[in-house]
Amino acid sequence: MKILFHIIIFIVFSCAAYAEDSSKSIVDNILSNGVIVNPDSNTNDILNKLGKPTEIQTKAVDNLYSDIDDELSSITYMGLSLLVYTTKSLENNWSKVSKVSVKGNNYLLPYNIKIGTNKSDLINILGKPHQINDNYWYYYSSDNEPHLQLILIINNNKLQEFIWSYMP
């Protein structure tokens, strides 16, 4: 009887540990793969994938390591906004999506998350947030990558905005 009890306890704790790990991997997967677009997309990649935006604004940003200014582009669609940072240095020209904010229901989010998903379903999918400040839920990568975060804005117990953020 004692052996059966120990086996049951082992199975229960193994399942609980697996559930926690799978929640972390879901958050890590979202953080590493981005939302709506590839995190390494440039402005043209986004325009080719999503079509003509309702608004696009680009401004110069000082580059601390070069005399050539970088660019920060804000691309807005109905219910979706993106920020893309592009370096313009002579030897290393690259782009990185720094923020994707989804407020509209017409965009496919990972793991069947939708704007309007209730809090309990979000916790079942993503696990408990690492940090909560008022209506803001914060999720971070398990490898402690401080620049990547997932921010959920909750209003009336439902998801109002889904934000993927990379801030170097």
Residue 96: give its domain's CATH number.
2.60.460
Cα(72)–Cα(59) distance, integer angstroms:
6
Tokens of 25: 């991997």
DSSP string for residues in 16-71: HHHHHHHHHHHHHHHHHH-SSS-TT--HHHHHHHH-S-SEEEEEEE--TT-SS-EE
pTM for this model (two decimals): 0.81
In sequence order, which residues have a C-beta less than 8 Å from that of residue 34 and are 6 or more positions away?
Answer: 41, 97, 100, 164
How confident is the model at residue 88, as a pLDDT? 80
Give the DSSP H/E element, type plus range, for residue 11.
helix 2-33
How confident is the model at residue 144, as a pLDDT? 66
Q: Which domain holds residue 160?
A: 2-166
- Domains in the chain: how many in total? 1
How confident is the model at residue 9, as a pLDDT? 34
Cα(89)–Cα(123) distance, integer angstroms:
42
Taking alpha carbons only, the member of 89, 82, 88 closest to residue 47 is 82
pLDDT along the chain (168 residues), means of 10: 37 36 71 92 95 96 84 96 88 88 93 96 95 95 81 97 90
